[in-house]
Amino acid sequence: MKRLICLFVFATIAFPVLAKEDWRGRVVDEKGEPVAYANVAVLSKTDSTVLCGVVTEEDGTFNIVTDETDGIMMVAMLGYKTVYLAPVDGAVITLTDDTQMLEGAVASAVMPKTKLTGEGLQTNVRGSVLENVGTANDVLSKTPGLIKGQNGLEVIGKGSPMVYINGRRVSDVSELDRLQSNEIQSVEVITNPGAQYDATVRAVVRIRTIRRQGDGLGFNLNASDAQSLRWARGNDPFGAINVNYRTGGLDFFGGVNYARNTSRQQSDLEKKTFGRTTTGDDWLFENKGTLLNEYIGSTLYGNAGVNWQMADNHFLGGKVEWGRHLTYNVHTEVKDNVFENGVLIDKLTTLSDDTMGEWTPYNLGANLYYNGLVAGKLGIDVNLDYYGTDDSSKSVSMETSDITHNAAIQSGSTNAGRMYAAKAVLSYPIWKGQLQAGTEETFSRRIDNYSIDGIDIPASKATVREDNIAGFASYGLYLPKVGQLSAGVRYEWVHYAYTDAITPANDLSRNYGNWFPNVSYANAFGPVQLMLNYSAKTRRPNYANLSSAVRYNSRYIWQSGNARLQPELSHNISATAVWKWVTFMANYTRTDDAIMTWSSPYGSEGVVLVQPRNIESPFRMYSTFVNLTPTVGIWTMNYTLGVQGQRLGITVEDPREAGGKRVTSFNDKPIWIAQLLNTISMKGGWQFELGGMVQSRGYSGNLLLTSVYCDIGAAVQKTLLADGSLVLRLEATDLAGLAHYNVDSDFGSHTIMQTNLMDTQKVKLSVRYNFNTAQSKYRGTGAGTDSKARM
pLDDT band at 76, cuts 50/70/90?
confident
- C-alpha span between 352 and 397 (Å, rounded): 4
Give the per-residue pLDDT at 54: 76
349 exposed, middle or buried (CB, 10 Å; 0-12, 13-18, 19+)? middle
d(CA 239, CA 299): 11
> 158 or 295: whose pLDDT is higher?
295
Give residue-wise pLDDT tens across range 113-156.
677 777 788 888 887 778 777 778 888 888 888 887 666 788 87
Burial 261-284 (b: 16+ CB within 10 A, else e): ebbbebbebebbbbbeeeeeeebe
Among 85-94, 103-112, 265-274, the least confident range: 103-112
Q: Are 261 and 227 in contact (CB under 8 A)?
A: no
Q: pLDDT band for position 394 (50/70/90)?
A: very high
Given this model, what pLDDT does residue 51 score? 67
Calculate the CA dihedral of residues 237, 762, 741, 541 and round it to 10 degrees.
-20
Q: Is the pLDDT of residue 18 over 60?
A: no
Intra-chain end-to-end CA distance of the chain, in Å: 27
Burial profile 51-85: b = 16 or more Cβ within 10 angstroms, e = fewer: bbbbbbbeebbbbbbbebeebbbbbbbbbbeebee
Closest CA to 739 of 173, 263, 232, 138: 263
Question: Rounded CA gap, 83 and 44, in Å?
Answer: 15
- C-alpha distances out from residue 532 to 482, 588, 714, Å: 13, 12, 36
pLDDT at 701 over 70: yes
* CA–CA distance, 333 with 336 (Å, rounded to integer): 10
Cα dihedral 12→17→21→24 (10° resolution): 30
**CB-based contact 163:169 (threshold 8 Å):** yes
Q: At 160, is the pLDDT very low, low, confident or very high (cuts 50, 70, 90)?
A: confident
User: Would you place residue 703 in the very low, low, confident or very high pLDDT band (cuts 50, 70, 90)?
Assistant: very high
Average pLDDT, the chain: 86
Separation of alpha carbons 423 and 199, rounded Å: 14
Q: What pLDDT is stored for residue 136 in this prediction?
A: 86
| Side chain identity at residue 288, one-letter code | K
Q: Is the Cβ–Cβ distance between 761 and 611 less than 8 Å?
A: no
pLDDT > 70 fraction of the chain, expressed in percent and rounded: 89
- Region 736-756 average pLDDT: 94
Position 624 scores a pLDDT of 97
Spatial contact of 620 and 594, defined as CB atoms under 8 Å apart = no
Q: What is the mean pLDDT of residues 31-36?
A: 77
How would residue 105 be classed by pLDDT, with cut points 50, 70 and 90? very low
What are the CB-based long-range contacts (under 8 Å, 24+) for 649-655?
649/617, 650/615, 650/616, 650/617, 650/702, 651/616, 651/617, 652/746, 652/747, 652/748, 652/749, 653/600, 653/748, 653/749, 654/274, 654/748, 654/749, 655/274, 655/275, 655/276, 655/282, 655/749
Read off the pLDDT of each residue in 22-41 and give the average, rounded to a whole number: 79
Q: What is the DSSP letter of 210?
A: P
Measured CA to CA, the distance from residue 791 to residue 788 in angstroms comes to 5
* Per-residue pLDDT reduced to its tens digit, 503-554: 888 888 889 899 999 999 999 898 899 999 999 999 988 777 877 778 888 8
| Those residues with Cβ within 8 angstroms of residue 441's Cβ, 6 or more apart along the chain or in another chain | 421, 422, 423, 467, 468, 469, 470, 783
Q: Is the pLDDT of residue 80 over 80?
A: no
3-state secondary structure 300-328: EEEEEEEEEEEECCEEEEEEEEEEEEEEE
Tens of pLDDT along 188-232? Answer: 998 888 898 888 888 899 998 876 555 789 888 989 999 999 999
**Section 408-431 average pLDDT:** 93
pLDDT tens-digit series, residues 613-658:
999 999 999 999 999 999 898 898 999 999 999 999 999 988 888 8
pTM of the model: 0.81
Nearest CA to 318 out of 380, 240, 378, 371 is that of 371
- Closest by CA to 603, choosing from 286, 273, 185, is 273
* DSSP H or E segment with residue 12: helix 2-14
DSSP symbol at 135: B
Distance from C-alpha of 779 to C-alpha of 764, rounded to nearest angstrom: 34
* pLDDT score of 172 more than 70: no
CA 448 to CA 280: how far, in whole Å? 40
What per-residue confidence (pLDDT) applies to 117?
76
Res 98: pLDDT: 63
**Residue 771: per-residue pLDDT:** 82
